[in-house]
A = this chain, B = another copy of it.
Amino acid sequence: MKALTRTVRHGTSDCVVHVGIGVLNRLGDLTEGYPSRFVVVAKKVMDLFGDAVSKALPGIDPIVIADDEREKGLAAIDMIVSALLERGARRDATVIVIGGGVTGDTAGFAAAIYLRGVRLVHVPTTLLAQCDSSIGGKVAVNHRLGKNLIGAFHPPAQVISDVAMLQTLPRREVLSGMYEALKSGVIGDARLFELTESEVGAVLERDPETLLELVTRSVEVKARVVEADEREVDVRRLLNYGHTLGHGIEAALDYAGMSHGEAVCWGMIGADAVAVRRGLLDSSVSERIERALLSYRPEAIPASVDRAAIIGAAMRDKKFTSSAMVMALPREIGRCDVVEVTASDLEHGAEAMLEASAVYAA
């Protein structure tokens, strides 16, 4: 078994990230020091890894939850809180969350507000969650008016990422994670970007060594950004590269029919168009990023999606304040900046993104 460890500093607390091949088997040992452990696990993950989880954490009756984006709301929080209360979880409890991004966000938020916050351990089981969403302490649920509008900062004590668990991950979810890895490459690691360009085949074969390097490098980029700015005052907004217009697409689709990663993929293409328009990015680099993204064959944006709906939803993006709209825009591979944009920039980006998708679909 091969594993790497990275400690992420969050203000006064530290998060230890373990990335490895087969590290799930060490879940029991790694959390042994915690007095009172509870497990929340996604239904799909339970079906695949229930035995391994029971072996690692014997005698714990897991709380099994749906892992559908549509179920990620306050009702799910109420359900998890009830299950923790019924099992007698107290202030010294540790909630171990095993699942993808939706599960981590939902059960992580439940841990954040349960008795005003109990210890959290993430065991991300998708490439996207391992590369991105499990790191940084953000947890949230959706509101009918938008995504992730209700949430908290609640850094986990540990993140335990086993890339061997990705062997059974559906192809489309592997791809969804690759768009976030690609994002991390563009904002902070040129070598990571090059890997996403050159290793398409190895990724699709789920080569463990390749996935290990992709996850490790993505974690490193995110950890650096998070440590520079835990509270998203400024630096952390870099992580929103591709997410402004991406969220616009997701909201316009009512979070159905397109994966988060795919929406971000098109959002990056839109952001690049804004960056080129603003003279920040060379169009040859923008084309290179687009080529890399499209080599993972995202679904095209459905023709039914209205440009106005995307822009409307993007304008409601929670990253905007009442006085300013900012986007993370790349300047070169490995470097992004947070830039104030206009409504006209946003429209240009949406237009370019929809056009790129239409050309790609044709």
- By a beta-carbon cutoff of 8 Å, the part of chain A in contact with chain B is 11-12, 35-36, 74, 77-78, 81-82, 85-86, 88, 90-93, 112-117, 138, 140, 143-146, 149-153, 318-323
State whether A152 touches B149 (Cβ < 8 A).
Answer: no
State whether A113 touches B322 (Cβ < 8 A).
Answer: no
State whether B153 touches A116 (Cβ < 8 A).
Answer: yes
User: In the bound complex, how far is the Cα of B153 from the Cα of A257, in angstroms?
Assistant: 37
**Across the interface, which residues of B come within 8 angstroms of A78, CB to CB?**
74, 143
**Across the interface, which residues of B come within 8 angstroms of A116, CB to CB?**
138, 140, 151-153
State whether B77 touches A319 (Cβ < 8 A).
Answer: no
Taking the closest CB of chain B, its distance from the CB of A157, in whole angstroms, is 15
- Which residue of B77, B88, B140 is within 8 Å of A322 (Cβ)? B88
State whether B91 touches A152 (Cβ < 8 A).
Answer: no
State whether A143 touches B82 (Cβ < 8 A).
Answer: yes
State whether B117 touches A152 (Cβ < 8 A).
Answer: yes
Taking the closest CB of chain B, its distance from the CB of A135, in whole angstroms, is 16
User: In the bound complex, how far is the Cα of B320 from the Cα of A35, in angstroms?
Assistant: 13
- Which residue of B36, B143, B149, B322 is within 8 Å of A92 (Cβ)? B322
Taking the closest CB of chain B, its distance from the CB of A97, in whole angstroms, is 17
Given A92-B322, A322-B36 in contact, is the A113-B145 Cβ separation under 8 Å?
Answer: no
State whether A90 touches B320 (Cβ < 8 A).
Answer: yes
User: In the bound complex, how far is the Cα of B113 from the Cα of A138, in angstroms?
Assistant: 11
Given A91-B321, A140-B116, A318-B91 in contact, is the A82-B145 Cβ separation under 8 Å?
Answer: yes
User: In the bound complex, how far is the Cα of B322 from the Cα of A90, in angstroms?
Assistant: 6
**Across the interface, which residues of B come within 8 angstroms of A322, CB to CB?**
35-36, 88, 90, 92-93
- Which residue of B144, B319, B321 is within 8 Å of A35 (Cβ)? B321
User: In the bound complex, how far is the Cα of B92 from the Cα of A318, in angstroms?
Assistant: 10
User: In the bound complex, how far is the Cα of B93 from the Cα of A36, in angstroms?
Assistant: 38
Taking the closest CB of chain B, its distance from the CB of A235, in whole angstroms, is 15
User: In the bound complex, how far is the Cα of B113 from the Cα of A11, in angstroms?
Assistant: 19
Chain A to chain B: the 6 pairs with minimum beta-carbon distance, closest first:
A92-B321, A36-B322, A116-B151, A115-B318, A85-B145, A74-B74
Taking the closest CB of chain B, its distance from the CB of A191, in whole angstroms, is 32
- Which residue of B35, B85, B91, B151 is within 8 Å of A113 (Cβ)? B151
Given A82-B143, A140-B116, A143-B85 in contact, is the A90-B321 Cβ separation under 8 Å?
Answer: yes
- Which residue of B82, B91, B319, B323 is within 8 Å of A319 (Cβ)? B91
State whether B113 touches A323 (Cβ < 8 A).
Answer: no
Taking the closest CB of chain B, its distance from the CB of A169, in whole angstroms, is 28
Taking the closest CB of chain B, its distance from the CB of A105, in whole angstroms, is 12
Q: What are 8 A-B contacts with C-beta separation under 8 Å?
A: A74-B78, A82-B143, A82-B145, A85-B143, A91-B319, A91-B320, A113-B150, A115-B149
Residue of B nearest to A78 (CB): B74
